[in-house]
Amino acid sequence: MTLTARHGADIRRLDGSHMDALMAITDEVGWGFTRQYWQVVLAAGAVFGLYRDEDTPAAVSAIFDYGPELSALGVVIVRERYRGQGLASLVIDAAEGGLERTGAPLLLISTADGQPVYERRGFVTVSECRKLVKPEGVIVGEPPKLENGRFVPVTEDNLDRVLELDRAVFGADRTPVIRAMFHTCLQALAVEQDGDLTGYAFLYARQGIEAIGPVVAENDAMAKALCQMLAYGREGGVRIDVLSHQATFGEALGTLGFQTAEAVPLMMLNGSSDLVSRPGAYALVSQTYG
């Protein structure tokens, strides 16, 4: 359905029937989305496409509503041939208009090219996201030692406990994202201590690489152990997105072979670093969701 039309732009809410076009866009910009990854985006958020004169959108955006405490803006892409025409602002307007509440804190992980666009809209850089990568061929050869607890798989039986932990640590309700990720991830692990669930992490596939996220844990040692267990024995590349307030954790991942590939700004509208610098939040779901 057409939501608005300005400057010759037809903006529509997208769904699974647009999968081929969405894959074409992320392939074009090299973001490494798989069909399953897009399925999670569509299930967990509202995706908008801005059309000009082709069947494939000229620009896309997505919004993820985590309740009154926080929301996230992601997957803001303008195809190269359409850049410099103000389409980024139009498609961001559409995404922000998809929120049930206005004025709530809104976060996003920006690219260097996108940062000036967001600054003009009032976004402020409050932190930094570091993309760490274990290169292909670098193998984590030993399983971790986990003190005072044990690894258990995340299943339908304990998923509600995982969601409860995530809400308590993250400070907002990411249930739609976490549920959708759980049903498509390669592996999901939790840590159980004296009957309590105190940490968890997921491993999922992207094009040409696997990714760990989110990582929620009681302390640095537990967070590292979760990542070490998920990366253990894997010959391919593994990626993880870590916020700057978890610098010690990032250094610990370096002992497993992870290297910093890039650092990009985390920006917020109507919010501050306190909303994202949560002690138990060690890695993002991904840069798409925060």
**pLDDT at site 8:** 62
The residue written with tokens 């094009």 in the block is: 207
Place of tokens 């647009």: 18
Is residue 67 one of the residues assigned to a domain? yes
Q: Would you say residue 109 lies in a domain?
A: no
pLDDT band at 69 (very low <50, low <70, confident <90, very high): confident
Please state, in angstroms and rounded to a whole number, the distance separating the CA atoms of residues 129 and 281: 13
| Domains of the chain: total | 2
φ, ψ (nearest 5 deg) of residue 286: -175, 175
Q: Is residue 255 part of a domain?
A: yes
Task: Give the domain range for residue 37.
Answer: 2-104
Q: How far apart are CA 53 and CA 36, in angstroms?
A: 28
92 and 139 part of one domain = no
Q: Is 220 exposed, middle or buried (0-12, 13-18, 19+ CB in 10 A)?
A: middle
Q: Is the same domain home to 269 and 139?
A: yes
Residue 290 lies in a domain: no
Any idea what the CATH number is for the domain that residue 55 is in? Answer: 3.40.630.30
* Count of Cβ atoms closer than 10 Å to residue 196 Cβ: 11
Of the candidates 104, 139, 172, which is a domain's last residue? 104
At 283, which amino acid appears?
A
- C-beta separation of 132 from 170 below 8 A: no
Same domain, 93 and 190: no
pLDDT level of residue 275 (50, 70, 90 thresholds): confident
For residues 85 and 199, state if they share a domain: no
Mean pLDDT over 138-162 rounds to: 95
- Is the Cα dihedral 202, 204, 210, 214 positive or negative? negative
Q: How far apart are CA 62 and CA 285, in angstroms?
A: 15
Same domain for 87 and 177?
A: no
112 in a structural domain: no
213 with 173, same domain: the answer is yes
Same domain, 156 and 215: yes
**Entry pTM:** 0.93
Note whether residue 114 is domain-resident: no
Residues in the chain: 290
pLDDT of residue 180 exceeding 60, the answer is yes
User: Using CA atoms, how far apart are residues 189 and 87, in angstroms rounded to an integer?
Assistant: 41
Distance in angstroms (rounded) separating the CA atoms of residues 130 and 244: 7
Look at residue 3 and tell me whether its pLDDT is greater than 80: no
Asked if residue 122 belongs to a domain, the reply is no
Alpha-carbon distance of 216 to 222, in angstroms, equals 9
Do 199 and 238 share a domain, yes or no?
yes
| 277, 170: one domain | yes
Task: Please tell me whether residues 65 and 147 are part of one structural domain.
Answer: no
Picking from 62, 89, 104, the residue at the C-terminal end of a domain is: 104
Residues 162 and 212 in one domain: yes
